[in-house]
Amino acid sequence: MPLLDIQNISIRFGGLTAVADFSLTMGDHDIYGLIGPNGAGKTTVFNMLTGVYTPTSGTMTFDGESIVGLKPYNITKKKIARTFQNIRLMKNLSVLDNVKISFIYQEKYGLTSAILRLPSFFHEEEDVQKKSLELLKVFHLDDKKDEMAANLPYGEQRRLEIARALATQPKLLLLDEPAAGMNPQETQELTELIRWIRKTFKISILLIEHDMRLVMSVCEKIVVLDYGKIIARGTPDEIKANPKVIEAYLGEEAAHA
């Protein structure tokens, strides 16, 4: 049984069909890439997958259960996590608190325990504190745990966003242009990081990215979207050789690659 099975999802906004008949199947520990020119509908696919939009038609099953029509927070509970194209950290909160947000749904104690400070409160809070710090350590952010997220440099904000997404304990991680705005060295580090995340956390990753070097080097399979439709899918080498892709999107960049 595949981890993620998307069959023919479409979405229309008014008269405009933003994404049509999108299908994708992912297994455990896959890293797939989703590429395409600006406005092709890549982020819209993410938004449907995470419940921000509900597809007009089509089915999406994750881990054997349908996730169509679920609220975003319920999809997170089903173990799909995401980052955002335009970083959406809690800017006025500390780095540590940003990660702790992701544990809220996993903590079981109720309002009464919180108000009366029952033992369960202390146990779970301690646990969350520990887990959050561990995660930050992995991402080399532990020495900045008390800094305000807004004050982090750009590359670290991206890293923190990934750490925060991982804290929700996903089986599938959706990364929306994680390399945007990074310099080549940072992108290189990111490439390593993505591979390392898959290995360490044993999860699948779906990646939207414009940086072809990154996509080609980490993704096992690539899906190409243009005007809301899939125009090609295959391994990086197949995609590189696909004339349709080159025509629609890669064109000159492929020449450079």
Q: Which residues bind other proteins (CB under 8 A)?
A: 43, 47, 50-52, 71-73, 76-77, 81-82, 84, 88-93, 97, 100-107, 109, 111, 114-117, 119, 121-122, 124-126, 128-129, 140, 143-144, 147, 151-153, 155-156, 164-165, 167-168
Nearer to other proteins, 177 or 232 (CB): 177
β partners of residue 233? 223
Quickly tell me which residue has 């049509």 as its tokens. Answer: 20
The residue among 146, 154, 201, 136 whose CA lies nearest residue 173 is: 201
Backbone angles phi, psi at 57, to 5 degrees: -150, 170
Nearer to other proteins, 173 or 219 (CB): 173
Q: How far is the CB of 147 from other proteins (least distance, A)?
A: 7
Q: How far is the CB of 60 from other proteins (least distance, A)?
A: 16
Q: How far is the CB of 105 from other proteins (least distance, A)?
A: 4
Nearer to other proteins, 130 or 244 (CB): 130
Give the dihedral sign, CA 117/121/123/125. negative
Nearer to other proteins, 174 or 222 (CB): 174
Q: How far is the CB of 121 from other proteins (least distance, A)?
A: 7
Which tokens hold the place of 141? 């952010």
Q: How far is the CB of 250 from other proteins (least distance, A)?
A: 26
Q: How far is the CB of 236 from other proteins (least distance, A)?
A: 28
Nearer to other proteins, 5 or 186 (CB): 186
Q: How far is the CB of 2 from other proteins (least distance, A)?
A: 23
The residue among 223, 215, 141, 217 whose CA lies nearest residue 178 is: 215
Nearer to other proteins, 54 or 235 (CB): 54
Quickly tell me which residue has 């990154």 as its tokens. Answer: 214
- The four Cα atoms 26, 32, 34, 35 give a dihedral, to 10 degrees, of -150
Nearer to other proteins, 88 or 137 (CB): 88
Q: Where are the alpha helices (DSSP H) in the chain?
A: 42-49, 72-77, 95-101, 111-116, 119-138, 154-167, 184-201, 212-218, 236-241, 243-245, 251-256
182 alpha carbon, distance to own chain's centre: 17
